[in-house]
Amino acid sequence: MHRMAIFVEGRTELEFDTKLILEMAGATHPLTIEARTRRGHGLPGQMAKQIWVTHTGTTPADSTHFFLVWNCGSDSTVKSRMLLEYDYLVSRGYSKILCHRDLGPSVAYADLIQFEAQLPYRVKTDPIRPSFILSVMGIEAWFLSEHTHFQTIDPAITVAAIFAALGFDPSQDDMQLRPTPADDLNSCYAIGGKQYDKWNTQPTIDAIDYVTAYFEVADRFPHLRTLCQEIEDFLSTPPAAAA
C-alpha cells in the first residue's frame, strides 16, 4: 500500500485536504484516510490522537493508497512535527510527505519569497523530499477565489453584490493580496445573512466546487496547484508498485 503523510496547521486545512483527496480520487482509487491530532511534543512514532478514519473501498483492506492527515494545531509546529516524525514515517513505508500551513498573519506577503526559501532548511531529502504547501494569507484566500460556492451558501451572495458592498471581485482580483481573507469571507457571507465560522468550516468545505478549484482556482495559486499535483501523482502510482 502506498502511504502519504500530510501535516497541516489546523482543522480547516485537515478538512479541505481530506475533501480534495476524496474528490480527486473519486471511485477509481480505493483509499483510506486517517485523521489525527496532537498539540505539543511527543516522541516519534507515538501516534497522535485519532479523530476519524474513512475509506472508499469495501473495507480498509481494499485500499491501495493510505493518507495520514495530521493536525498539528498551529502553523509554527507543522515543520517541527514533520521533522520529528520523518524517520519514523520512512521506517513505516511512507513515500510522500507534505506540510500545509498558512502564510500570515504573522508573516507578511512581501516576505513570501524569503519565507519559501527558508522552508527546506534542515529538512532531509533522502529518501523522501517533503513538499511545502502555503496558503498565502490564509486558506480562505482559496475559498474566496472559488467564487461559485457563494451561491451554494446563499443565492444573494453574488460577485456583483460582493463588489458593490466590499469593493473587490473574488473572481478576478488576487485574493492573496487581501491581508485578512477570513474576515473577507465572513463579510461576503454576511451579504446573505450567513457567517463564516472558523470553528465550523464544514459548510464551506462542502460548498466548494472541487472541479473549479482544480481546473481554475489552482491556476491562480501555485501552492494549490502543487497540492493538487502531489495528490494526483501519488494516486497515479500503480498499486502493483507499492511496497
pLDDT in tens, 28-46: 778 999 988 865 555 555 5
Nearest of 56, 77, 76 to residue 67 by alpha carbon:
56
- For residue 109, the model assigns a pLDDT of 74
User: How far apart are alpha carbons 91 and 104 in whole angstroms?
Assistant: 34
Is the predicted pLDDT of residue 48 greater than 60, yes or no?
no
Of the given ranges (71-85, 95-109, 123-137), which has the lowest mean pLDDT? 95-109
Q: Give the chain's length.
A: 243
**Could you tell me which residue, 44 or 223, shows the higher pLDDT?**
223
Torsion of CA 158, 13, 34, 242, to 10 degrees: 100
pLDDT band at 76 (very low <50, low <70, confident <90, very high): confident
Provide the angle, in degrees to the nearest 10, between the axes of the packed helices 181-191 and 159-166: 110
Helix residue spans in 119-242 (DSSP H): 140-145, 150-153, 159-166, 181-191, 202-207, 210-215, 222-236
- pTM score: 0.90
**Could you tell me which residue, 98 or 113, shows the higher pLDDT?**
98
User: How far apart are alpha carbons 45 and 89 in whole angstroms?
Assistant: 8
Q: pLDDT by residue (tens digit) across 15-24?
A: 999 999 999 9
**Could you tell me which residue, 58 or 64, shows the higher pLDDT?**
64
pLDDT band at 243 (very low <50, low <70, confident <90, very high): very low
Q: Residues of the chain with pLDDT > 90: what percent?
A: 69
Half-sphere exposure in the Cβ direction for 105 (13 Å, CA): 7
Is the predicted pLDDT of residue 146 greater than 70, yes or no?
yes
pLDDT band at 27 (very low <50, low <70, confident <90, very high): confident
CATH 2.60.40 fits 2-138+219-241, yes or no: no
**Tell me, what amino acid is at 26?**
G
Sorted by where each begins, the domain ranges of the chain are 2-138+219-241, 142-206
Name 164's Cβ contacts closer than 8 Å, sequence gap at least 6.
none
Q: What does residue 117 show for φ and ψ, rounded to 5 degrees?
A: -65, -30
Contact 96, 128 (CB under 8 A): yes
Is the predicted pLDDT of residue 50 greater than 70, yes or no?
no
Provide the angle, in degrees to the nearest 10, between the axes of the packed helices 222-236 and 11-25: 50
Q: What does residue 132 show for φ and ψ, rounded to 5 degrees?
A: -110, 125
Q: pLDDT by residue (tens digit) across 230-242?
A: 999 999 987 654 4
Q: What angle do CA 97, 224, 13 make, to 5 degrees?
A: 65
Q: What does residue 118 show for φ and ψ, rounded to 5 degrees?
A: -85, -15
